[in-house]
Structure formats: C-alpha cells, structure tokens
Structure 1
C-alpha cells in the first residue's frame, strides 16, 4: 500500500530541489521527539547547511532573506525528525503549531517574515495539512549561536491507514 502523505512530501522535496537531512542528534539532555496523546512534540531544530550550523543575528550581519533560508533549513530538520520518529510520514494528520525563535538584534522586528521560511515549507511539503498556528519570537541568543530555531507540534493518526 502506498503512503499518500509520504508520496506528497517526496514529490514536493523533489520539485523544490531539496533532500531531507539526517535527523540531528540532541546537543544536550533531551530527546528529539515525544509522542503523547495523539501528538508528536518536536524539540527545537537548528539550521544546518552543507553540514554546518547557520549562525548569526538578524539585523546584525544576517539579512531577512538569510533568516528565511535559516528558518527553511530548520523546517527541513523538523521534517527529518518527524520521519525519524515515525519511520515515515503516513501518520501525519496535520502540522498543528510551529514555534520559531529568531536570533535578533534589539531593533529587528521582522520575526514573522523570517518564520515564513519554515511555515511556507510546511505547506509545500504537507499541503493543507501543513497549515498551522505559529509563534515567531525574537530572542537575544540561541544555542550554539544559531540564527533560528524551530520546534513543532504534529497531530498524528493512530496508524498510517487512518
């Protein structure tokens, strides 16, 4: 039996010229994903490009476009963590919420536009099931100096056949 969600995600990745990265291991004392009550809670994911962490602060050296790309890279890692936790995408019913944290200079106020990098990727990958609630928050620093961090809550079905 084919998995229509996985098929959609794989087609979308190919159409966008993207590949899922290997799901990143935790950098401290936590797990990448916890399934509870029909939801998959994903820990914050950082942006990696060609194996290197994207670092810096928006409004101090990083442009809006670079921030959007960093958020998109975080979104790719979110998708990689979903696949790693579930063994595929067949149980994904909906991306419920993204939390987007933007390493921001004090006068930088375009966090929502930065967050669109991750939000638009979720819709591209999951279609209508990728439309989600969201927080976009400016912070003075992120772990390892990352430019952006994204966490997620994903609604799951009991099985891939639901």
Structure 2
C-alpha cells in the first residue's frame, strides 16, 4: 500500500483550528498590554510636565503677571518642558494664587480619547478624568500647549500646587 506525500485535508484543518484558537487566546492579552502601555506613557508624560513646570518656575522665576519664563523675558512654551509631547493632546494651565505670593496652581491634562483614565490612575493615583472647576476661570495667557481646556469628562487631569520663593 503506497501513501501520497503531503498533508491530508483533515490534518491541515486541524492545524488551522489550533492556530486560530491560539490567536484568539493571545489577541486580548496583546491588546490589553497595548492599552496599559499607552496609559503608562500618558501618566509618565503628565509626571514629566509636572516636574518640568515646577523646575522651570524655580530656575527661571516668574514675572509680575504670574507668567512662567523661559529666560529673562520670554514666556515658557510646552515644547521647552518635555520631548515628544504633542501640544494638541497635552496642555498645562496655571495661575498664581491669591493665598500666598509665588504660589501656583497648575492643571496638566491629556485630552486624547484613546486612553482609559482608570489605567492611568493605576500608575498615577492623583490623575482623574474630571476637570476641577476652579480652572474654568484661568486667564488665557497662562497656558502652555492646548488653547482650550477640555470639557469635564474629555480628558485626564492632574493638578498640583507649588510655591516659588
């Protein structure tokens, strides 16, 4: 009895079914890892912006209108604070407080819709998906990056307060 070389149709279908089962099992895990990595990237960028704006205020000072400066006269811009931070998606709004001279309240936000705020919150517990109401009245010249604040549930928000002596 002679047998032909090659695979039978049944063997080929079994191999394809096993491969399909493996792909179906691995795909959700891979997609979840991609979502978590994007959320971690956003959290890291928020932390970078927070640290950079605070450092810029300490190093360069502020002017009489509470505008952070890049040098002696020029205001700081978002691209001065971090690399690979898209000003269309990230923004920093800040204001000097009336409580203490040199004290600043800062709102740093990501207004992309491609990241789950709960995943960002796992990496950065102070980040939230709700915009604080006190930032609705910030003057337009105290912004870095985005020209408008996102709506209340349109982004990921991180706030901080610091003092420049």
What TM-score results when the alignment is normalised by the length of structure 2?
0.28
Higher strand share: 1
Which has the higher Rg, Structure 1 or Structure 2? 2
Q: Which has the higher contact order (CA 8 A, sep 6+)?
A: 1
Using the size of structure 1 for normalisation, the TM-score is 0.28
